Amino acid sequence: MRDSRLLARLLADPAAAREVQDWTSLIAVARAESLAGSLAWRLEGRELPPRVEALLEAARRDGESARVQALWEAEMARRALAPLGVPVILLKGTAYAAAGLEAARGRSIGDLDILVPRAALPDVERALLAAGWEWVKEDPYDDQYYRRWMHELPPLIHRERDRMIDVHHAILPLTARPKPDMERMIGDPVPLADGLFVLSPADMIVHAAAHLFADGDLAGGLRNLWDIDRLLRQFGERDSGFWPALRERSQRHGLLPAVRRAVRLARHLYATPINWCQAPISKSLDSQGTASEKIGARHQLTATDALYRRRLLARDGWGRARRPLTRLAFYVRSHWLRMPPLMLARHLWVKARRR
């Protein structure tokens, strides 16, 4: 089995671990996709060769230390912003960890991502600068570009702790075609015990899908899709109203196609259970059986999905990125999605002249 494909299979079905022939390649792929910690957790308690077990045990401990650091960074941001009385919503890995979600298990967490109301940005910026964060970039074009068009402040880094913070006011660049309803998203967060917030379950998925398809070039996509798998499973099991809410929210934010694609690909790669048509209250076995047959056809990958899958699995057993043309196409696409064509041309021109 191809290397990144095998990684996905093992994440979905840890029992397949006994079929692994080449652990070195599997680990190289998992590290390259930032999924080594997640894999280590999925394989916990399995009978594995001792050397493999020792490596995975170290990966689990490393994931735990990443979790502590990420939560600490969130706490330091909370202390810096508490006097403002502004809701601070954690995003991505830090949010999953703070909310104790399954998706955080073993997940590597890089920067701290937070979401605040756009009107609060100047105050937030001032408070962070006063608490030891500094600008990373000094370039005026980049700075202006960020402030005018992007969904976040230019990145800040803490001068003592060397950790970056991305302060978002929206989940997509302002130039992107879908226009999520940020007021609704920010107005309906889930409070955590310590005065921080995370997005509601449906919005969390919407953000993860937007981040995966409408924003980036799909680098690290296998990990982002793994997040989506874990979140869908956990939310779907916890709350029978989750799937209808997901449909409603995705539609409202103009991101239903992205969410549906994420769900299809997650099901394809990670066998995620899907329940778009779930009856909210009663579940009769026979009707569900027929329903899922019918829905099955709608969960088939489309031709475009297949391209995405090709991009997501573009990694060989040495951890090398493969399929340069597919990757280039997705890179160009990522810019195309973020900006109207004229603006894109200007942006690429300014960037190119500096090379």
Partner 1 sequence: MAASLYAADPPETLRTVELEGLTLLYHRPSGLTHFLAPPAPQILEALAAGPATAAEIAARMGEAFEIESEDPAAAIAARLSELEAAGLVWRT
Partner 2 sequence: MSERSNIPDDDGIGRPSRRVVLALGAAAASTVVTIRPALAQTAGSVLNCEIPVPAPQAGSGNFIAADGKLVPAGTPGAYPPLARPLKGEEVKAMLNSGRAPAGVNSEAAQAYANYIRRLQAGMSGFTCYASLQMPR
Partner 3 sequence: MRHILRLQVGPVSFRIGSQWRGPVEQLRRLYAGYPEPEGLCDFTVRLEAERFWRRWLRPSVAIRGDYVLPDAAPLPLAQGLLAAEMGMNLQMALGQKRFLLLHAASVEKGGRALLMTGHSGAGKSTLGALLGERGWRFMGDEFALLDLDDGRLHPFPRAVSLKNESLGLFDGMDPARLGPVLTGTPKGTIRHLRPNPEAVARMTEPARPVLILFPRFGRDLEPAIREVGAAEAFMRLTQASTNYVALGERGFDALTRFVGALPSRAIDYADTGQAEALVDELWRAA
Binding site for partner 3 (CB under 8 A): 23-24, 27-28, 31-32, 49, 51-52, 54-55, 58-59, 61-62, 64-65, 68, 318-320
Q: What is the nearest approach in angstroms of partner 2 to the Cβ of residue 354?
A: 5
Angle at 259 between CA 253 and CA 261, to 5 degrees: 140
Contact 74, 196 (CB under 8 A): yes
CB of 75 to partner 1, least distance (A): 7
Report the partner that residue 353 touches, choosing among partner 3, partner 2, partner 1, none (CB closer than 5 to 8 A by kind).
partner 2
76 binds, among partner 1, partner 2, partner 3, none (CB under 5 to 8 A by kind): partner 1
Instruction: Tell me whether strands 164-168 and 190-191 are parallel, antiparallel or unpaired.
Output: unpaired
Span interacting with partner 1, options 63-71, 142-150, 199-207, 297-305, rule CB under 8 A: 63-71
Q: Is 339 helix (H, G, I), strand (E, B) or coil?
A: coil
Q: Of the candidates 240, 315, 247, 237, which has an alpha carbon nearest to the alpha carbon of residue 273?
A: 237
For residue 113, give the H/E element and its range: strand 112-115
Residue 135 Cβ, how far from partner 3 at the closest point, in Å?
19
Site residues (CB under 8 A) for partner 2, limited to 134-153: 134, 136-142
Q: Which of 48, 35, 119, 135 is nearest to 84 (CA)?
A: 119
Residue 52 partner contact from partner 1, partner 2, partner 3, none using kind-dependent CB cut-offs of 5 to 8 Å: partner 3
* CA–CA distance, 286 with 265 (Å, rounded to integer): 27
CA 57 to chain centre: 25
DSSP-derived secondary structure letter, 213: I
Residue in this structure with the two tokens 């929206």, named with its chain if needed: 170
Contacting partner 2 within 157-216 (CB under 8 A): 157, 159-160, 162, 164
Q: Least CB distance from residue 75 to partner 3, whole Å?
A: 16
Q: Report yes or no: 331 and 323 within 8 Å, Cβ to Cβ.
A: no
Cβ-Cβ contacts under 8 Å for 282 (sequence gap 6 or more): none
Q: b/e map of 251-270 (b: 16 or more CB within 10 Å)?
A: ebbbbbebbbbbbbbbbbbb
> Of residues 115-144, which lie at the interface with partner 1 (CB under 8 A)?
132
Which of partner 3, partner 2, partner 1, none lies near 289, with the C-beta cut-off 5 to 8 A by kind? none
Determine the interface stretch with partner 1 among 9-17, 64-72, 284-292, 327-335 (rule: CB under 8 A).
Answer: 64-72
Chain positions contacting partner 1, by CB under 8 A = 65, 68-69, 71-72, 75-76, 79, 132, 160
Question: For binding to partner 2 (CB under 8 A), which residues are involved?
Answer: 134, 136-142, 155, 157, 159-160, 162, 164, 353-355
